[in-house]
Amino acid sequence: MVSITSSMVRLNRLYTDFCKETTLHGLKHTVAGDLHFLERMLWFVLTVFAFAGAVYCGVSQLARYNSEPVVVSIERDYRGWSTDFPAVTACLLERVDEDKAKEVIYRIWNVTEESDSEKYQYYYEFVDLIAEISFRNNLQNFWKYQNDDTVKDIDLLQLALDVHPDFQPKIKTSQKMEVQWRQIMTEEGLCTTFNSEYAQYQIVDDNLWRSQPLTKCHYHSEACFVRIDSVENGARYFIHSPFDIATAISNPTGEILPGDELATDFKVVEIQAAERIKGLRPEQRRCRYPDEWVANSIKMATCVTRTGWRVLEGMWRYSSTCQRTSRNALACPSAQKLIITHIQKRSLFVLPFGIDVGILGVAAYYITRLKRPHQAAIEEVFGPEPSSKEGSLYPEKVVKCIAHRGAGLDAPENTLQAFKYCVERDCTFVELDVRTSRDGQLVLLHDQGLERLTGTNISDVRIMDWEKIKKIDVGTNHPNSMMFHKVIFFFQVINGILDIFAGHPDLYKSAVVTTFNPFVLYKIRKKDPRIIGAISYRPYCFSAQDYDAENGPTNPRHGDSILLHLLLRTADWVHSLLWRWSARWCAVSAVLLHKDIVSPSEVAYWRDLGVRCAGWCVNRPLEKLYWRGVLKAPYLANTLLGEPEMEEKRVSPKAVSDRGVKEMD
């Protein structure tokens, strides 16, 4: 008793000295004399539980490592990925050659169809059962032969081989390699296979086995195929992994008869094991390698990892168990969880769908993008850049003002009188608009209808013939209508322009085609790349009829339908993101922008691309000075008032004629 007490005292002294000197948090408080006993006890309990929790976590981690010591990682270097092409196992629909069966029956049982037709039919059915043997179909039909001694001690495999038809299907591969078909015995009976690594465990004669490199497909390859022609034999095909075998529970293609065609695409998810996995115990991997022993007498030769081969929609579906690893790969016949260290995924696209579509779209953009006209032709139309050296030396060549619709505030827009008005004031760059009537005649008109110009109720000239609208006076509502005589429609002007272009091909250097629709411009320039093109843009052109910086979008096109208005606003947003791309896609030489969205940075952006940036409609004198002096860019104006060099300047009729404008009767 005394000895136990002295031992406890020594242990308490040792514990106290340790706790006073240790740096472990909490232990000092368990022996502090100035603390209450309950507080010291609380610190002791907390310390014990903390230590126990740390030990428990460490032991749990060790146990987890011992049970599942492998982590999953994804290989990202897809450029080096390659996959083994699936194995193909072909099983004939008719596996008995009648001539061979006659010889076998006569050799084994000495029976012919002529000598004893009943016995011959009896043994022929036995031969047919052996040749067509399958765990799926006919094992139950052998009962009637169980007591027949004449069918005992017969090599059944050799019997099936002796009566099997000659079957050597023609095959063509994308790699142009020689393919060797191997005759194997499966749960579906006697079949032939190629590109199967595990066929060596099913081959009918081990001496015939010769190892052959498996057919592989590179990850990027879109021309990896195998074409099989079964010639005169109908067959059922099993498509599976080259590290798998066809079994009775596998799903075949169905009956493929001579002349039938079956196209099968496949998608594969690959699982691959690292080489170091083999150093783990089978209990840790939960799998065994093909050369490992399951028990004292059973070698693990056909265990497999799981890979699913599934064909695309619209064709037959198939899923089986197969292995996609090297010879040192693990095999998992019944593990609840697959232990993997490498996963590769194969799909129709090389990259995730969104990235694929983006890359495809960018590639299509650059492939279909048009070429720009020659720079000299562009300068012939727009003149030199205002900020360039040539622009400083020859300022008269620089295009500053473009008469919008023929200066539509000064004269009836898009008319011969308006164009003459511009030429007389030395404004030789005129913008005009073209529409078509119902009978296909070209009409100079900006609006869809004639309400604004004539006060009539004609809302759409596309539903009217030229004969009905050619006499309408389009200057009726113009504020300066008294300065001009009766203004009829402009069929003559179109004919005149077409005649001038036909007789003067050099006008390719004097005209620009502009539109809001990039697809229209693309079609025009694709047919004739010499034409100089321009894209027009303003914000909210889909949802609103008008726009300015002060009021924003006004006069909604479909304000009575909120849903349609929101859809059009969405179209406006998409348009605002893509219009610059569309302009570059059409290889425009100029962009015509609403004046309220043009800034010095916008002009500089297009100038760096070699594209002229013009604004519309710049009508106030102060705005014109800003465009000339600050932006140094051309502009479209509805009036020539405020143009410094054009105020009331007139030229002789001869000079007008020299500029290519002639009056039509």
* Alpha-carbon distance values, 592 to 96, 546, 602, 617 (Å): 81, 16, 12, 10
Identify the bridge partners of residue 536 per DSSP, sorted by sequence position.
Answer: 592
pLDDT(203) > 70:
yes
What is the model's pLDDT at position 622?
Answer: 86
Domain that holds residue 53: 2-67
The answer to whether residue 304 sits within a structural domain is no
pLDDT band at 572 (very low <50, low <70, confident <90, very high): very high
The answer to whether residue 27 sits within a structural domain is yes
Burial category of 305 from C-beta neighbours within 10 Å (exposed 0-12, middle 13-18, buried 19 and up): buried
Q: What is the 3-state secondary structure (H, E, C) of 554-570?
A: EEECCCCCHHHHHHHHH
Among the three residues 117, 143, 164, which one is the final residue of a domain in this structure?
164
Q: Across the chain, what does the average pLDDT equal?
A: 76
Q: How far is CA 218 from the centre of its chain?
A: 19
Question: Does one domain contain both 55 and 104?
Answer: no
What is the model's pLDDT at position 102?
Answer: 92
Q: At what angle do helices 156-163 and 117-131 cross, to 10 degrees?
A: 100
Bigger pLDDT: 143 vs 614: 614
| Helix extents (H) in 278-388 | 282-285, 353-368, 375-382
SS3 content of the chain, % helix, strand, coil (to 5): 40, 15, 45
Residues 6+ apart with CB under 8 A from 380: 509, 510
Question: Does one domain contain both 17 and 156?
Answer: no
What is the model's pLDDT at position 659?
Answer: 44
What is the model's pLDDT at position 215?
Answer: 80
What is the model's pLDDT at position 593?
Answer: 92
pLDDT band at 425 (very low <50, low <70, confident <90, very high): confident
Question: Does one domain contain both 496 and 595?
Answer: yes
The answer to whether residue 189 sits within a structural domain is no
The answer to whether residue 202 sits within a structural domain is no
The answer to whether residue 589 sits within a structural domain is yes
Question: Does one domain contain both 102 and 55?
Answer: no
Question: Does one domain contain both 154 and 11?
Answer: no
Question: Does one domain contain both 570 and 507?
Answer: yes
Residues 6+ apart with CB under 8 A from 42: none
Amino acid 413 reads E
Question: Does one domain contain both 45 and 132?
Answer: no
pLDDT(577) > 60:
yes
Among the three residues 147, 164, 181, which one is the final residue of a domain in this structure?
164
The answer to whether residue 593 sits within a structural domain is yes
pTM comes to 0.45
Question: Does one domain contain both 54 and 101?
Answer: no
Q: The CATH number of the domain where 598 resides is what?
A: 3.20.20
pLDDT band at 355 (very low <50, low <70, confident <90, very high): low
Question: Does one domain contain both 10 and 142?
Answer: no
Question: Does one domain contain both 580 and 619?
Answer: yes
Question: Does one domain contain both 59 and 102?
Answer: no
Bigger pLDDT: 506 vs 370: 370
Q: What's the structural domain count of the chain?
A: 3
The predicted model gives 508-527 an average pLDDT of 85
Phi, psi of 332 (to 5 degrees): -130, 90
For residue range 428-466, list pLDDT tens digits in order. 888 888 877 777 777 778 877 777 777 777 777 777 777
What is the model's pLDDT at position 647?
Answer: 54
The predicted model gives 597-617 an average pLDDT of 90
The answer to whether residue 624 sits within a structural domain is yes
What is the model's pLDDT at position 535?
Answer: 92
For residue range 465-480, list pLDDT tens digits in order. 777 777 777 766 777 7
The answer to whether residue 47 sits within a structural domain is yes
- Nearest CA to 273 out of 325, 214, 238, 197 is that of 325
Among the three residues 146, 164, 182, which one is the final residue of a domain in this structure?
164
For residue range 157-172, list pLDDT tens digits in order. 888 889 988 887 777 7
3 state SS of 656: helix
Question: Does one domain contain both 7 and 142?
Answer: no
